[in-house]
Amino acid sequence: MSTEVLKYVMIGTVVVFVIVMLVYYVLMKKLGKSEYKKIKKLQEGTEANTFTMDIFYQKLYIRLIRTPFVKRYLFKLRRRLEIVNIDDEYITRREAARILLKAAIIFLLIALLTILITKNNFLLMSILLIFELFIADTMVEGMVDKIDNNLLREQIDFFAEIRHAYHEYNMVEEAIYQVSLDDEKAVSKQGEKIYEILSSDDPEMELEKYYDVAPNSYLKEFAGISYLTQEFGDREEDGSSLYLKNINNITQEMQIELLKRDKLNYVFQSLAFISIAPVLLLEPLKSWAIANFTFTKSFYNGKIGMVVQVLIVILTVISYIITRRIKDNGGVQVDLARNEHPWQEKVYKNPILKRIIDPFIPKPGTKDYRKMQKLMKDSASKSKMEWVYVNRICLAIITLILSIIFFIALHKIAINYIYTEPTTETVVLGKLSEKNQKLAEELTLQDNYFLDKLKGDLDITQEEIEKELPKSPYYEPDDENIPTDAARILEKLKVVNSEAMQWFEILMAIGFAIIAYMSPVWMMIFQKKMRQMEMENEVMQFQTIIVMLMKIERVNVEMILEWLERYSNIFKEPISRCVNNYEAGAWEALEELKNSVTHQDMIRIVESLQAAVEKIPIREAFDELDADRDYHQEKRKDANNILVSRKGLIGKGVGFAPMICLFVGYLVIPLVVIGLTSMSDTFTQLGG
């Protein structure tokens, strides 16, 4: 390329650059006068220049949603949070990421502590880490429950503000709208949703949709009462607004419920930790006992010690599950976090597995089928019959396999103890000196030489061992220790040769599998008993609902039944059946409902509904409920106190059981029994 051409290229480049700069300057000047400038001005100050936790949680959520395994659990968690944070994706993501992060940090800290404590016991470490995953899941549930409780507290203030706003505007939807303007509270979003429902073209249909996603029954009641008041109008009752009276009734219900939950939280706040503490204390207690009482080493490092450890872990798991179930608030919220197509359904749809499972499921119409169906309803099980039996069979198979593996591991532990435990020729009550410890380890290595050589011969005698000892480099033919050493080696050989899978261990594994097969049924029976304890509370809630509805114009018996069905939990199945059969015959449907319940106050409610169907108006049929309102409030408070006391008594018994078993079964009894046995052997040797 010539110099002339290069000069023209350089000039052209400069000219193009100048033209581009001029065009850019003109465009920027024009854009400054356009909407672009306004948009840029609006964006000023909205970008975060510093680190904030909100931004961190949003970014963490994006990472978690892409992580295998965690992604599935995150969706399950956010489905529960979506109920509280209606249409607010930002808060839902923030809360989901925050809860998961907190649970993960606590789990990792406990897991690290567990690994440090049980680093020499791989079997126990594995069991504890699996158990701690379960604890992490319950911690997440506890955090979500805390959000629900906070929402309930906000609702009390929300309803108080509704009262003032209603006095000012005298319009239901306008009062709700004004109070819902506070965006800082979670309950405001619920208020906005209820306002949208009341202002929609078809509020009745939208209300039915809201009933399916409302966080708690009290918001359902508020939304329903607000709709009825908007639809039929408000009226004065004893000089005050009926709508405000009903809001006051709902507020009193919430206050009673919050008091009950606070008392339950207070009673159970330390029981969860007390119930799981024993599994974390197993290894420290074992190390302390061996360090201070050497004669217990054979127990803690042997088969029996491992069996006791596993039994305490199993007892701890059972106690923790039962304690959580006892503490359950027994709310009526539908579990929307439940997967509609769980793994049990996929297992049952497999043609081969279906053929294996079907023989275990009772045939429809049989006594066993009706019995199981009734138990599932009474325990409020959300599973199908097939899923229950998939769970039972899977639990049985897993327990059978784990039991066999555990028995094999026990045999390995017993053999390993024989090969590694320092051997002493006399019973030692205290701790060995460094010199004696070294001699004991050398004697163990010496015995191991003969164990490897002679093991497998189940009929070997002491005389045959005595003949083998001089052939080794450890003994001379005339060594006087040969008889005693041969006897010791024979005892060790008996242990090594006998540590194999036995027929009775297979039977025990089958027995454990049968227990595991029955455990889901036993858990449903337990859940049924817990629900029966909540029966009184639910009937009193029905009484409050009826008191609110009975004074509203155009309310009939069928509408009351629909409301009771909507808020029922324990009595849901018979009330639903009554609603379905109501059109065929109101009196007959109510009579069937009365015959299917046993609670006396519930029977009285049904009888009053029957009277309202044919004889007298609803208001007169339930007149005593309104007259005895204060009495029923006090009665409900006393019933809640009794419920909390009863649950607390059961919870303390169950929660402290693992701790008692730990100190009594794993420390006191071994120390006493082994200590007395060792002292007896020592005195025998001294006497001999």
- Domain-wise residue ranges, the chain: 58-241, 340-528
* Whole-number Å distance between alpha carbons of 557 and 612: 7
**Residue from 290, 226, 257 nearest 667 by CA:** 290
Which residues 6+ apart lie within 8 Å of 94 measured at CB? 54, 57, 58, 61
- Contacts of 199-207 with CB under 8 Å at 24 or more apart are 199/173, 203/227, 203/230, 203/231
Residue type, 347: V
- Residue 673 CB: number of other CB atoms within 10 A? 12
H/E stretch holding 606 reads: helix 600-614
pLDDT for residue 19: 67
Q: What are phi and psi of 237, to 5 degrees?
A: -135, 110
Per-residue tokens: 536:
């009184």
- How many C-alpha atoms does 386 have within 13 Å on its Cβ side? 16
- Give dist(CA 254, CA 585) in Å, integer: 36
**84-97: b (≥16 Cβ within 10 Å) or e:** bbbebeebbbbbbb
* Alpha carbon distance 150, 668 (integer Å): 45
Cα separation, 312 vs 408, in Å, equals 19
Cβ neighbours around 459 below 10 Å, total:
6
Q: Which residues pair with 240 in a beta bridge?
A: 237
Amino acid identity, position 508: M
Q: Do the beta carbons of residue 268 and residue 323 sit within 8 Å? A: yes
Secondary element (H or E) of residue 36: helix 35-43
Q: How high is the pLDDT of residue 50?
A: 55
Q: What pLDDT was estimated at residue 6?
A: 45
pLDDT, position 398: 92
Residue 241 phi, psi dihedral angles, 5° rounding: -65, 135
The answer to whether the CB of 63 falls within 8 A of the CB of 101 is no
- Residues of the chain whose pLDDT is less than 70? 1-51, 83-88, 121, 123-124, 183, 328-341, 424-433, 626-629, 632, 678, 681-688
Q: How many CB atoms are closer than 10 A to CB 520?
A: 16
In whole angstroms, give the CA distance from residue 374 to residue 383.
13
Quick check: helix, strand or coil at residue 331? Answer: coil
- Are residues 75 and 331 in contact, defined by beta-carbon separation less than 8 angstroms? no
Given a contact cutoff of 8 angstroms between Cβ atoms, the answer to whether 594 and 607 are in contact is: yes
Q: Helices 242-268 and 629-663: crossing angle, nearest 10°? A: 20
Cβ(412)–Cβ(306) below 8 Å: no
- DSSP codes, 280-328: HHHHHHHHHHHHH-GGGHHHHSSHHHHHHHHHHHHHHHHHHHHHHHHH-
Please give the pLDDT value at position 261: 84
What is the C-alpha to C-alpha distance for residues 550 and 552, in angstroms, rounded to an integer? 6
Measured between alpha carbons, how far is 131 from 316 in angstroms, rounded to an integer?
A: 9
User: How far apart are alpha carbons 386 and 494 in whole angstroms?
Assistant: 49
Where helices occur in 534-599 by DSSP H, the ranges are 535-549, 557-567, 572-581, 586-596
Supply the DSSP symbol for 432.
Answer: P
The CA distance from 184 to 181, in Å, is: 9
Let me know: does 172 contact 243? Beta carbons within 8 Å. Answer: yes
Local structure of 236: helix, strand or coil:
strand
Alpha helices per DSSP H over 121-241: 122-169, 172-179, 186-199, 203-213, 217-232
Name 241's bridge partners. 236
What is the full DSSP assignment across 248-270? HHHHHHHHHHHHHHHHHHHHHTT
How many other CB atoms are there within 10 angstroms of residue 382's CB atom?
11
Q: Which two tokens stand for residue 594?
A: 């009365």
Angle formed by the axes of helices 385-420 and 503-533, nearest 10°: 130
pLDDT digits (tens, 9 = 90+) for 445-457: 887 887 877 787 7
Sign of CA dihedral 18, 22, 25, 27: negative
> What's the CA gap between 248 and 669, in Å, rounded?
59
Distance from C-alpha of 225 to C-alpha of 551, rounded to nearest angstrom: 11
The residue count for the chain: 688
Residue reference for tokens 């997967």: 339
